[in-house]
């Protein structure tokens, strides 16, 4: 695996991939580790998870710098990501026992019936590069605590992050092989899922990657959870706080270089406030600093890979050619590295790439729409269904419209985010299943009914 620094285009290092024999050995060790780990009292598993949170906080600068080198995340955002990982560890260390407590059911006199939650075994997690620590920890924190063991197949451009995460659990005192990194190509994923020793799989990534994992897991009758792409609507109603919506919208679209499934991507603005919002939105976007990701003042670093930047730019060019108006940005920066500026497209024609495809970078598509029903219809005019945002001063109106939008989560007067306290996931082409909260923790357990007469 070649690690290319996207800010410089230079090769940082080469990492040897694991062989098929290495993978077989890892699966054997994972199976053995599971037999002991599943019987550990959950309080001990919670204590180890709390220790992992401490390790993350103690080494956050080191881990953040690894992210920045490998995928270009601005250092301040990378540090915040490590801190968020520590938070999810704290959350399940505190609430894991309650989330897994047995649920009682009505039963005849003299009997008791309850549902208990038992782990499944080794779980494969196929994870992306855009949040290389957070995506892994929101899988590992709940599912290791429930008694499963983890096998991580991380994106090939962030092997250092994968190795660092494995080291977090080692430093925290986890038993050997409860969490392992598999440095393998995507070509070997099917073989791992098909192995009888692997009991389930989860993937965060592209639609094709999700379909491939779901197909293989389904053929093997194994549980899978998919968190895939998004084209989240950012709806601004006629009674919205325009300045707040523009400020939050600029960040919702451009944090992490715009490389986020839950970024606000399609900005659907009521005619009555369109001009005011657009002016404020352009000002906010143009105020963001693009530059060296190791500089704490940088808001937007490089795109993670040069080829991804090229794909993004092709989407912008095709959208402009179809009639979209380019208001700012729209050209790769003339400097070393894969730098693309924050870009805004207005009057976006139906069916062009900015309208119908996921733009995985700092490109916002803005629409002027003249009534509430049409805003909701446009919000739902997508194959994706991950998240959505509604801006209105009338909270009851926001709550009502949230029920009309087809998405896994809708935030009113707030950007979409994944939070350990609430379930996270999508519908449609955005995948299925849930992560986080109790619902996420129960995805990879056997919900066993125990009837005692």
Question: Residues with catalytic annotation?
Answer: 227, 261
Output the six-digit token pair for 158.
């962030």
pLDDT score, position 214: 97
CA-based angle 33:34:38, to the nearest 5? 125
Using CA atoms, how far apart are residues 353 and 272, in angstroms rounded to an integer? 27
Phi (first) and psi of residue 145, to 5 degrees: -70, -30
Q: What is the pLDDT of residues 298-344, one digit of tens each?
A: 999 999 999 999 999 999 999 999 999 999 999 999 999 999 999 99
Structure tokens at 42: 């959950």
**Above pLDDT 70, what percent of the chain?**
100
pLDDT digits (tens, 9 = 90+) for 163-202: 999 999 999 999 999 999 999 999 999 999 999 999 999 9
pTM, entire model: 0.97
Position 398 confidence tier, pLDDT thresholds 50, 70, 90: very high
pLDDT band with cut points at 50, 70 and 90 for residue 275 = very high
**Which residue segments constitute the domains of the chain, with CATH numbers given?**
2-229+428-452 (3.40.605.10), 232-381+387-412 (3.40.309.10)
**What is the rounded CA–CA span in Å between residue 182 and residue 23?**
7
Are residues 7 and 72 in contact, defined by beta-carbon separation less than 8 angstroms?
Answer: yes
**Predicted pLDDT of residue 339:** 98
Question: Which pLDDT score, from 0 to 100, does residue 315 have?
Answer: 98
Whether the Cβ atoms of residue 165 and residue 67 lie closer than 8 Å to each other: no
pLDDT average, residue stretch 268-284: 98
- Residue 441's closest CA among 101, 17, 43, 34? 101
Condensed to tens digits (0 to 9), the pLDDT of residues 43-76 reads: 999 999 999 999 999 999 999 999 999 999 999 9
Mean pLDDT, the chain, whole residue set? 97
**15-39 CB burial, b ≥16 within 10 A, e <16:** eeebeeeebeebbebbbebbeebbe
- Tell me the C-alpha distance between 233 and 43, whole Å: 41
């Amino acid at each position: 695996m070649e690690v290319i620094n996207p800010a410089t285009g230079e090769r940082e290092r080469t990492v040897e991939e694991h062989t098929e024999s290495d993978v077989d050995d890892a699966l054997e060790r994972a199976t053995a580790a599971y037999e002991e780990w599943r019987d550990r009292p959950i309080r001990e598993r919670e204590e180890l998870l709390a220790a992992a949170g401490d390790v993350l906080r103690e080494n956050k600068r080191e881990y953040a710098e690894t992210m920045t080198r490998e995928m270009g995340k601005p250092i301040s955002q990378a540090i915040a990501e490590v801190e968020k990982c520590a938070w999810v560890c704290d959350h399940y260390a505190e609430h894991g026992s309650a989330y897994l407590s047995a649920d009682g059911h009505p039963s005849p006199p003299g009997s008791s019936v309850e549902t208990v939650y038992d782990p499944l075994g080794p779980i494969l997690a196929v994870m992306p590069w855009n949040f290389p620590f957070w995506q892994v920890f929101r899988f590992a924190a709940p599912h290791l605590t429930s008694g499963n063991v983890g096998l991580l197949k991380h994106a090939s451009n962030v092997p250092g992050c994968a190795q660092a995460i494995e080291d977090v659990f080692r430093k925290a005192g986890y038993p050997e092989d409860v969490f392992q990194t598999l440095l393998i190509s995507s070509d070997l994923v099917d073989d791992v899922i098909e192995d009888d020793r692997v009991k389930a799989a989860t993937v965060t990534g592209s639609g094709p990657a999700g379909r491939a994992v779901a197909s293989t897991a389904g053929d093997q009758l194994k549980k899978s959870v998919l968190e895939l792409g998004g084209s989240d609507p950012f709806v601004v109603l006629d009674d919205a706080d325009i300045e707040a919506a523009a400020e939050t919208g600029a960040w919702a679209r451009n944090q992490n270089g715009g490389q986020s499934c839950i970024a606000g991507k399609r900005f659907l603005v009521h005619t009555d406030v369109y001009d005011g919002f657009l002016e404020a939105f352009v000002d906010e976007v143009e105020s963001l600093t693009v530059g060296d990701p190791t500089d704490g003042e940088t808001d937007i670093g490089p795109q993670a890979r040069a080829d991804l930047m090229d794909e993004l730019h092709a989407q912008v060019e095709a959208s402009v050619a179809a009639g979209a108006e380019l208001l700012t940005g729209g050209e790769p920066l003339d400097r070393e590295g894969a730098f693309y500026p924050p870009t805004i497209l207005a009057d976006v024609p139906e069916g062009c790439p900015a309208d119908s495809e996921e733009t995985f970078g700092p490109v916002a598509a803005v629409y002027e729409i003249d009534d509430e029903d049409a805003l909701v219809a446009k919000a739902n005019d997508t194959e994706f269904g991950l998240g959505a945002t509604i801006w209105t001063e009338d909270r009851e109106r926001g709550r009502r419209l949230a029920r009309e939008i087809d998405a896994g989560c809708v935030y009113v007067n707030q950007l979409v985010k994944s939070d350990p306290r609430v379930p996270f996931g999508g519908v449609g082409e955005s995948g299925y299943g849930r992560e986080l909260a109790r619902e996420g923790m129960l995805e990879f357990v056997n919900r066993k009914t125990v009837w005692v007469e």
